[in-house]
Every structure is written in structure tokens, then in C-alpha cells.
Amino acid sequence: MRFEDEQHSSPSLIDPFGRTVSYLRVSVTDRCDFRCFYCMAENMHFLPKKEVLSLEELDRLCTAFVDQGVKRLRLTGGEPLVRKGILTLISSLSRHLDSSKLDELTLTTNGSQLKQMAGDLASMGVKRINVSLDSLREDRFQEITRWGRFKQVMDGIEAALAAGIKLKLNAVALKGVNEDEFDDMIRFCHQRGMDLTFIETMPMGDIDHDRLDLYLPLSQLKQDLAERWTLEPSTHKTGGPASYMTLAQTGGRIGFITPMTHNFCESCNRVRVTCTGTLYMCLGQDDATDLRAPLRASESNDLLNQAIREAITRKPKGHDFVIDRDNNRPSIGRHMSVTGG
């Protein structure tokens, strides 16, 4: 199944600070088959299906951004691979790879569906995937994800590697939870040719735990690793917010995403669209633009393109992530699963 292109082309999207917006992250669903305790409450209330964009609408929205200069497209969730018909959407979007309008089509996943889908994803032009994995211990993995199945994820990782897809593992650094595993995670990844990126926990959405107890500054993590590993600066870039270092002992890379201890906004080239068509110009700000209304108002993309361009003129210089220690409230009320990982 293919969805039709709109034959409109516009100049690149430039924000008020001269940054070219060339990277779009699109959440295709707010639903997930895990309930990671730092990300979601165990009993989540998900969006009514009528509010969620159809696959055809998601395709049309992504295409509008591609026609305006977006070169990298990442599908997220929730868990994107639990969205019914997701392979149909990915297959359709892959036409932008064939036409060279898009440089990369990728996704971020918890890995639960990769065993079944890795071969199809590879055949559709997906060459690189980020897998979120916070523990290599089955018992701890179960505690963190609540609903996750460790073997299912491990099988998915092996299936993706066997299909020729390059993987990067993302691990949220959780104080008192997984900090004793970081060396093992480095070895696990680098022995398989995978990069590993550590992420600071982000203050988004109300959860069942106190984030102050979980927060581990990556500056501290980096110092701890330097006592056992030789960390060498790397110029490697993926288009995302991570800064990378190479480990002399393995030759592999580790990345650090530090929304709390280091503001990485000066080179931000990204915007995010939720599964309801809400465009967030910054993950750490609440300003947003509704793209669903113009998308559904006309078969033409004129209103949609106008809304996108106007929104980019409001992209802020940086985010305002902070954990409110006085009230123990997240600085951003929406859950990460709503905006997209």
C-alpha cells in the first residue's frame, strides 16, 4: 500500500536562531507494551483512537515535512512497533529514501517486536535502530519495565543484527538501580559492534516514583567510567543530541545525552510531532502547534505547510528541564510516551 505524495516543495525550515530543522521525530502511538517505572505510571490512560492520526495522515504529515527539507525521520512512540499496520506506513515512507529526498528512516523501539519485524524493516531501507534497554539482568529488567519480557528483547536484538541493521542501545542512568551494570553494558554492546548511549532521566509526566531518588548526573557517570576505561573524544555525530567518546580498550563508542547537566540546544535541528498531530518545537517546552486540524481541513497541504512554517518561527533557543525539588513535580506535565522518545 502506497500513500500519494503532494507535489509541493518549499525552502528549508529555518528557525529564529538560524538553525535548519532537518530532523523530525514522529510518535505513531502513545501506547506501549512496557510500563517502565521512570517513564509511565503502571495504570496509564491512553488516547482515544479517534484522536490519533491514521496511517494515511501520518504519511501525509511526514511527507509535508520531507517536502520542506527534513532529511532524517525517526518513528517513535510509546512503542512504535505495536501500532497496527506500522510496516505499511514504513514501507510507504521508504519511497522518500528511494527518491533521495530522505537520508534516513529509522526508529526507536524497546525491541519487543524486532524478532518478527527486523527482516521487513531492513528490506524497507531501515539501516539503523535505537533500542531502549536499561538492564542486562532479567530480574532487574522485569522490575524496571514491569511488563517487559527480557528474552523477547534479547532475541529481537540478535534478529536485527542478523538482518544487517546497525543498533545503538539507549540506557537511562538510574541512581541506585542500574549503575552497577554500566561496565557490563559497555562490553555487551561493543562485543556486538553496537554503540551505547547513556541518558539522564527527564522530568516529564507524573509517575509512581520520586525522580530525585533516580537522578544520576552523567558528569558523575563519566568520571566513574574514566577510572576504569580510557575515554577519548570522538567527532562522531548521528544528528541527535548525544556527544560521543571512544573507549580505547574496545574501540567502541559511548554517548551521553545530558538534558539536565548540559544544555545541548545550540545545535538543535529537531522537532517532534505526537500521534495526535501536535507539533512540539522543543521537547522541554510546552509551546505547540496543532497540525491535525489543517491536515484534516483540506486535501491540499497548503494549510498544513503554512502551519508548519509558522510553528518553526517560534522554535525556542533552548529547553527548561528542571526537577522541581520544592514541590516534587515534573517541569513538563506530559509523559515522554505522549511526545515520543
277 is in an annotated binding site: no
Query: What DSSP character marks residue 166?
Result: E
140 is in an annotated binding site: no
189 is in an annotated binding site: no
Pick the closest to residue 135 from 164, 176, 166 (CA basis).
176
26 is in an annotated binding site: no
For residue 161, give the C-alpha cell: 543484527
DSSP code per residue over 3-32: -PPP------EE-TTS-EE-EEEEES-S--
35 is in an annotated binding site: no
Name 254's bridge partners.
Answer: 196, 245
137 is in an annotated binding site: no
62 is in an annotated binding site: no
272 is in an annotated binding site: yes
282 is in an annotated binding site: yes
Is residue 162 packed enough to be buried (19+ CB in 10 Å), middle (13-18) or exposed (0-12)? exposed
271 is in an annotated binding site: yes
117 is in an annotated binding site: no
Pick the closest to residue 226 from 246, 199, 197 (CA basis).
246
Cβ partners under 8 Å of residue 91, min gap 6? 1, 2, 124
DSSP code per residue over 212-259: HHHB--HHHHHHHHHTTS-EEE-----SSS-EEEEETTT--EEEEE-T
Q: Residue 133 — φ and ψ, nearest 5°?
A: -150, 120
* H or E element that contains 151: helix 150-162
Amino acid letter, 84 = K
Binding-site residue set for S-adenosyl-L-methionine: 38, 78, 132, 202
Binding-site annotation, residues for [4Fe-4S] cluster = 32, 36, 39, 265, 268, 282
Binding-site sequence positions: 25, 32, 36, 38-39, 74, 78, 108, 132, 168, 202, 265, 268, 270-272, 282
Feature table: binding site for GTP: 25, 74, 108, 168, 270-272
